Structure 1
Amino acid sequence: MTPSNYSRFIRFLQDELSLSPDSIAMAERANHPTDSQHKYIDPSPVSMTLWQYGLVTLEQLDKIFDWLETA
């Protein structure tokens, strides 16, 4: 996922699923290297981390994967 699409993904998490920026940042820290040179970002590990920590339900996780499929 390109950085611009990843930004759309983050907005989706905040706007549609009402996730806090802190929750998203925690999941990102757990899964993303700090190297800003990466041109492709895989949002799937972030999604799974949100679920594993109980920050999203299975229904919300399904919505996330539906969104990712169409993005």
Structure 2
Amino acid sequence: MISYNSDTIVDFLQSEIKLSNADISVVLKHPESKNAPLHMLLWQYGLVNIEQLARILDWLEKQVS
């Protein structure tokens, strides 16, 4: 699993993907948020589209390289 700072990804999601605090909070309130990657839950709940998911994955990859 990719390790990243939660504040950093939230900042990215808000500034680059244009998600609101409410969008992110919806996902974080669900029990599965403890076991599944945030970006996949955002996609599962329809809060990001496939292009946005690809941008998130690219960003995550850059964080570990």
TM class by smaller structure = 0.7 to 0.9
Report the CA distance between 1:53 and its aligned residue. 1.3
Query: Any unmatched runs of 5+ in structure 1?
Result: 33-41
- For residues 6-65 of structure 1, the C-alpha deviation after alignment (integer angstroms, 9 at most, x for no partner) is 211100000001001011111122203xxxxxxxxx8x6211111111110100000001
Which one-letter code corresponds to 1:28 in the other structure?
Answer: L
Asked if 1:21 is matched to 2:21, the reply is yes
**TM-score of the aligned structures, taking structure 1 as reference length:** 0.72
| Whole-angstrom CA distance in 1 between matches of 2:6 and 2:58 | 15
CA RMSD, 1 decimal: 1.7
**TM-score of the aligned structures, taking structure 2 as reference length:** 0.78
SS of corresponding position for 2:42: helix
